[in-house]
Amino acid sequence: MHQKTLVELSADLHKGRCSSVELTRACLDRISKYDGELNSFVTVVEQQALAAAQAADARIKAGTAGPLTGIPFAHKDIFCTLGVKTSCGSKMLDNFIAPYDATVTRKLLEAGAVMVGKTNMDEFAMGSSNETSFYGAVKNPWDAATVPGGSSGGSAAAVAARLVPASTGTDTGGSIRQPAALCGITGIKPTYGRVSRYGMIAFASSLDQGGAFTRTAEDAAVMLGAMAGFDPHDSTSVDRPVDDYTGGLNTPLQGLKIGLPKEYFGEGLDAGVAAAIEASLDEYRKLGATLVDISLPNTHLSVPAYYVVAPAECSSNLSRFDGVRFGYRASEPKDLEDLYTRSRGEGFGDEVKRRILVGTYALSAGYYDAYYLQAQKVRRLIRDDFLSAFGQVDVIMGPTAPSVAFRLGEKADDPVSMYLSDTYTIAVNLAGLPAMSIPAGFSGGLPVGLHVVGNYFEEARLLNVGHQLQQATDWHTHSPQGF
């Protein structure tokens, strides 16, 4: 059962070949069997999941079910879940039982999806390896000595290990696409504003966007269809109808123009990754697409711009954690300042502190113009590069990450080297564009991800482009040994 895709499982449920209770029980059993080693879950909600599965089975019988009804999923621990611990991977929120549901949570539950638990993640989504979590590192199911990527490492590992057919993630600089690539699965980050941020714990508000992990593009279309949509509770949510993501999956790619930025294939790209990407591009050629060489000349500025904008917004957003209204509070504070300083000092981990310090510095008197304002100007240059590229091509492709999964601990002491592992994904967040990573083969036995970037609100096209590759190749069906 665990090798089936979400769409196959949905058909089984609707045809009465299995029940949601059986399916949910099977996922819970796999979690208890494998997750001790993987560490992809922070919380498993067995009783709640089985109750939801029973309700889903009733809905299926009553004929009021949709494609997600009865499908188990894992939820990144950044989304608030009413009555369930929502830790954001931090000691700061280790004791936080969310008093409300995030909009994404509510929409998935209303669609009848069954939440089996909350997944491990880099603390406050700050990291590219899932090593900054208060709950310990997550292992990559393909090789337990390597990282699953981050920040949504638990969500990616859980889908890759076939513990669940789907999971949620968030992506501020690559936190869905990079772990999807490193774990050999499909991950989509929609256009900024497409999925509500209400109840999604904020890291960098102008970059954060929710999305999904699945094994196939077709499954991702179903997940995203349920998650997307306007939400008056999120002031940056875009009021525009959600496209039909599944309807166009089979559109032929004849005539599709694929842009290949020369900046994504240069120095720093691992040769094995490059070879796998070239092979996938050949498949697209066979499917009738035209490959066009393009340039995104400001690409080299995206990581530096990001590491001003993201920490600046993080330092502002994380000021809410003060030990007064929720979260960790230091014991026996001697005065108010001591309460703030020690609650934050004891509640936050190293990487979070580093980013708060960088952001505080970048926003402080005398430095705001030099850092934050300049970064926001460069951000426009980066966005304009994409706009001009989309005048010539329909989608942009390249590698999702410069290498396959790196070893646990390898980059943990060198923040700048860790930041560079997000080189190809970060510009997309600065521009607010939709993008996905799809399995594109292997290098040295570890998965490679193909990065596909679309123009604003062209999620349906991305999913179509991904689905067509998955009709021509079987990379997405490979599963890690031992699971």
Partner 1 sequence: MSLDAAEIKKIAHLARLGINADDIPEYSRNLSDILAFVEQLNAVDTAGVEPLAHPLEATQRLRPDAVSETDNRDNFQKVAPETESGLYLVPQVIE
Active-site residue list: 76, 151, 175
Q: Which of 477, 358, 374 is nearest to 2 (CA)?
A: 477
Cα–Cα distances (Å) from 318 to 104, 314, 315, 418, 429, in that order, read: 21, 6, 5, 22, 20
For helices 217-227 and 6-14, angle between their N-to-C axes, nearest 10 degrees: 70
Q: Which of 9, 401, 430, 452 binds partner 1 (CB under 8 A)?
A: 430
User: For residues 257-296, which are near partner 1 according to CB under 8 A?
Assistant: none
Query: 302 Cβ partners below 8 Å, 6+ apart?
Result: 382, 423, 426, 427, 430
What's the Rg (C-alpha) of the chain? 21
CB-nearer residue toward partner 1: 73 or 390: 390
CB-nearer residue toward partner 1: 147 or 310: 310
Strand partners, 435: 189, 453
H/E stretch holding 33 reads: helix 20-38
CB-nearer residue toward partner 1: 34 or 321: 321
Is residue 388 near partner 1 by the rule CB under 8 A? no
Nearest-approach distance from CB 378 to partner 1, in angstroms: 6
Task: Classify 473 as helix, strand or coil.
Answer: coil
**Is the Cβ–Cβ distance between 419 and 309 less than 8 Å?**
no
Q: What distance in Å separates the CA atoms of residue 475 and residue 473, rounded to the nearest whole number? A: 6
Q: What distance in Å separates the CA atoms of residue 174 and residue 310, rounded to the nearest whole number? A: 12
CB-nearer residue toward partner 1: 39 or 317: 317
User: For residues 438-477, which are near partner 1 according to CB under 8 A?
Assistant: 456
Lookup result for tokens 């923040």: 415
Q: Which of 4, 6, 49, 9 is nearest to 28 (CA)?
A: 49
Choose the stretch contacting partner 1; rule: CB under 8 A; options: 112-120, 141-149, 337-345, 437-445.
Answer: 337-345
Q: Which of 2, 304, 471, 483 binds partner 1 (CB under 8 A)?
A: 304
Nearest-approach distance from CB 198 to partner 1, in angstroms: 13
Q: Which of 88, 204, 249, 378 binds partner 1 (CB under 8 A)?
A: 378
**Is the Cβ–Cβ distance between 467 and 250 less than 8 Å?**
yes
Is residue 315 near partner 1 by the rule CB under 8 A? yes
Q: Which of 285, 338, 388, 409 binds partner 1 (CB under 8 A)?
A: 338
What's 370's DSSP letter? I
Q: Which of 62, 63, 254, 325 binds partner 1 (CB under 8 A)?
A: 325
CB-nearer residue toward partner 1: 21 or 92: 92
Q: What distance in Å separates the CA atoms of residue 433 and residue 431, rounded to the nearest whole number? A: 6
Is residue 43 near partner 1 by the rule CB under 8 A? no
Amino acid letter for position 70: G
Nearest-approach distance from CB 306 to partner 1, in angstroms: 9
CA angle 41, 192, 8 (to 5 degrees): 50
The size of the interface with partner 1 (CB under 8 A), counted in residues, is 73
CB-nearer residue toward partner 1: 206 or 251: 206
Choose the stretch contacting partner 1; rule: CB under 8 A; options: 21-29, 36-44, 289-297, 375-383.
Answer: 375-383
Choose the stretch contacting partner 1; rule: CB under 8 A; options: 47-55, 181-189, 332-340, 473-481.
Answer: 332-340
Is residue 192 near partner 1 by the rule CB under 8 A? yes
Is residue 99 near partner 1 by the rule CB under 8 A? yes
Amino acid letter for position 47: Q
Q: Which of 127, 154, 225, 432 binds partner 1 (CB under 8 A)?
A: 432
Choose the stretch contacting partner 1; rule: CB under 8 A; options: 110-118, 138-146, 246-254, 327-335.
Answer: 327-335
Q: Which of 407, 369, 389, 325 is nearest to 92 (CA)?
A: 325
Q: Which of 416, 445, 472, 482 binds partner 1 (CB under 8 A)?
A: 416
Choose the stretch contacting partner 1; rule: CB under 8 A; options: 171-179, 268-276, 303-311, 388-396.
Answer: 303-311
Is residue 97 near partner 1 by the rule CB under 8 A? yes
Q: Which of 371, 390, 424, 475 binds partner 1 (CB under 8 A)?
A: 371
CB-nearer residue toward partner 1: 286 or 300: 300
**Is the Cβ–Cβ distance between 45 and 86 less than 8 Å?**
no
CB-nearer residue toward partner 1: 377 or 407: 377
Q: Which of 341, 471, 473, 479 binds partner 1 (CB under 8 A)?
A: 341
Q: Which of 257, 333, 473, 478 binds partner 1 (CB under 8 A)?
A: 333
Is residue 232 near partner 1 by the rule CB under 8 A? yes
Amino acid letter for position 225: G
Positive/negative CA dihedral, 168, 173, 177, 183: negative
Q: What distance in Å separates the CA atoms of residue 244 and residue 221, rounded to the nearest whole number? A: 9
Q: What distance in Å separates the CA atoms of residue 171 and residue 109, rounded to the nearest whole number? A: 21
Q: What distance in Å separates the CA atoms of residue 336 and residue 444, rounded to the nearest whole number? A: 54
